[in-house]
Amino acid sequence: MSTQEQVRPTDGERPGRQAVVNPATGETVAWVDALGPDDVAVAAARARAAQPAWEALGFDGRARVMRRAQRWVVDHRDELVRTIVSETGKAWEDAMIAEVTYGAAAFGHWASAAPKLLADERVKVASPLLVGKKVVVRHAPVGVVGVIAPWNYPFTNGFGDAIPALMAGNAVLLKPAAKTPLTSLLMLRALRECGLPDDVLQVVTGSGSRLGDPIVDAVDMVMFTGSTEVGRGIARRCADRLIPCSLELGGKDALIVLADADLERAASTALFYAMFNGGQTCISVERAYVEASVYDAFVAKVAERAATLRTNDPTGPGATDVGALTVPEQLDVVRDHVDDARGKGARIVVGGDEDEGRPGWWYPPTVIADADHGMRCMTEETFGPTLPIMRVADADEAVRLANDSPYGLMASVFTKDVARGEEIARRIQAGTVHVNDALVGYAALEAPMGGWKDSGLGARHGREGIVKYTATQTVVVARLALRREPQHYPYDGLVHKLLGGLVRAVYGRGGRG
């Protein structure tokens, strides 16, 4: 079946279709195709056939499509939010802040940044063997990029990665999470309205365990966002094929509050970015370390704010502060982490009690005080609306504990002494570190965002975020071509003397190359 034919999900159950459920209500909102390995092969072949013409459009031609798509996102923002909310159960504002805003920015950013970041670069070279020759570095599209995406941000994490891949001249095979395919299907329709040629982008819907291997086997590069466990498997399979992959994986982001911090700002920021999107953000604040002298005051400020948070159905703007959990498995993890902490002596100062009868998947915003590293909530990714807080003696202990993690995605330090904050930031093992802020570094499309340690490989955004979708080619041109270079055969003794003299002249004083 053509992957282009499923753009409008039908609302009836049929064999070979999977349900999309609204996690806030438990109601089925659509049925989409559950594709199989053969469909992936067909989609990949079509993508491969469509790619050369797309590449031939050049940056300007591709950017025109992207700029139209940017306007589409702005004009259809409510439709986009409604679709995202219907399959994730998140608050409307979560979708507006982290997905619509991101999408509108990303189409424009890559349209204008791609030609600069991927422009041919004339390189100055020092070797005497290259005197008079032109050396140019160029970036060719890899061909077909496979994007495999998680369910927490159906637009930003997933479709968002297709944008730079397309701008680099590639065709894309996009596999959204099985639970959240509707946003990708909507955006595929949007891009085609905006002039994207047939088959350049293919959305393959279905389960990762069935489609993952066939996708990796059919593409030239994989961009994966999801769990560390699945990411490792993808890296192994890519290694067998000797194709590159870029991995954005799990996180356990630490937030450090020093004694001289603005406690109002620290508490507000910690709570917001712990609960934002129901805590289902790879870069959410997952744990806080607070210097002893301000610990009680910080906990009190966080608790006071947390107690006011509403968890209503996300029926429209302003309806709720915190939305639902998007997948039921997540509810088990969050519950286990809170129960484990409670059992080991932590204080649940807000939340922790579930509304048993409620349809959909909900967990209340929960603040855990007196946590420590013997508890799972401080060492394993929770990915839910929880904020565990631990008392520390000083900044050194906070840094040591922040780094005592297999993950290294983002982190935060709060202090009024910003110079000291920056110094501490540089000691934290994470791809992005904030001083007096959290999470928003993600919006810096101009700067790389990627994980250290088990949080990933490679980066999205910045130069790295588009160069990775290309194969680098160095072109060497001998313009004023002599009939014979001095070093060519025969070796009559002159070569030795000539090169010896050149080596002495060029490198003899230890200055060059």
Active site residues: 248, 282
Q: Residue 211 and residue 204: Cα distance in Å, rounded? A: 8
Q: Residue 96 and residue 113: Cα distance in Å, rounded? A: 24
CB of 50 to Mg ion, least distance (A): 40
CB of 419 to ligand NAP, least distance (A): 29
Q: Which of 460, 429, 457, 90 is nearest to 253 (CA)?
A: 429
Beta strands 144-148; 171-175: pairing state: parallel
The item of Mg ion, ligand NAP, none sharing an interface with residue 89, based on CB under 5 to 8 Å by kind, is: none
Which residues between 175 and 204 bind ligand NAP (CB under 6 A)? 175, 177-179
User: CA torsion angle for 46, 48, 50, 54 (degrees, to 10)?
Assistant: 150
Dihedral sign for Cα 472, 164, 274, 181, please.
negative
**Residue (244 or 421) nearer to ligand NAP, CB:** 244
Options 126-134, 206-214, 316-324, 465-473: segment touching ligand NAP (CB under 6 A)? 206-214
Nearest-5° Cα angle at 311, 310 to 316: 90
CB of 68 to ligand NAP, least distance (A): 27
CB of 254 to Mg ion, least distance (A): 12
**Residue (311 or 330) nearer to ligand NAP, CB:** 330
Which residues between 262 and 301 bind ligand NAP (CB under 6 A)? 282
Residue from 44, 168, 191, 234 touching ligand NAP (CB under 6 A): that is 234
Which residues between 51 and 80 bind ligand NAP (CB under 6 A)? none
The item of ligand NAP, Mg ion, none sharing an interface with residue 290, based on CB under 5 to 8 Å by kind, is: none
What is the longest distance spanned by two Cα atoms in the chain?
A: 92
CB of 360 to ligand NAP, least distance (A): 18
Residues with Cβ within 8 Å of 240's Cβ and at least 6 positions away in sequence, in order, are none
Residue 364 engages Mg ion in binding (rule: CB under 5 A):
no
Dihedral sign for Cα 59, 61, 67, 70, please.
negative
Total interface residues for Mg ion by CB under 5 A: 2
Which residues between 442 and 461 bind ligand NAP (CB under 6 A)? 451, 456
Q: Residue 270 and residue 255: Cα distance in Å, rounded? A: 7
Total interface residues for ligand NAP by CB under 6 A: 30
Residue 214 engages ligand NAP in binding (rule: CB under 6 A):
no
**Residue (196 or 204) nearer to ligand NAP, CB:** 204
Which H helix or E strand runs over 407?
strand 407-408
Alpha-helix residue ranges (DSSP H) falling in 76-227: 77-88, 92-95, 101-117, 160-167, 182-193, 208-218
Number of C-beta neighbours around residue 345 at 10 A:
11
Phi, psi of 442 (to 5 degrees): -60, -30
Residue from 214, 251, 278, 384 touching ligand NAP (CB under 6 A): that is 251
Task: List the structure tokens of 266.
Answer: 């620290």
Residue 227 engages ligand NAP in binding (rule: CB under 6 A):
yes
CB of 219 to ligand NAP, least distance (A): 12
CB of 361 to ligand NAP, least distance (A): 14
Q: Which amino acid is at 98?
A: A
Confirm if 135 and 123 have CB atoms less than 8 A apart. yes
Residue 148 engages ligand NAP in binding (rule: CB under 6 A):
yes
Confirm if 55 and 141 have CB atoms less than 8 A apart. yes
Which residues between 247 and 286 bind Mg ion (CB under 5 A)? 279, 284
Sites of contact with Mg ion (CB under 5 A): 279, 284
Sites of contact with ligand NAP (CB under 6 A): 148-152, 157, 175, 177-179, 207-209, 212, 225-227, 230, 233-234, 248-251, 282, 381, 383, 409, 451, 456
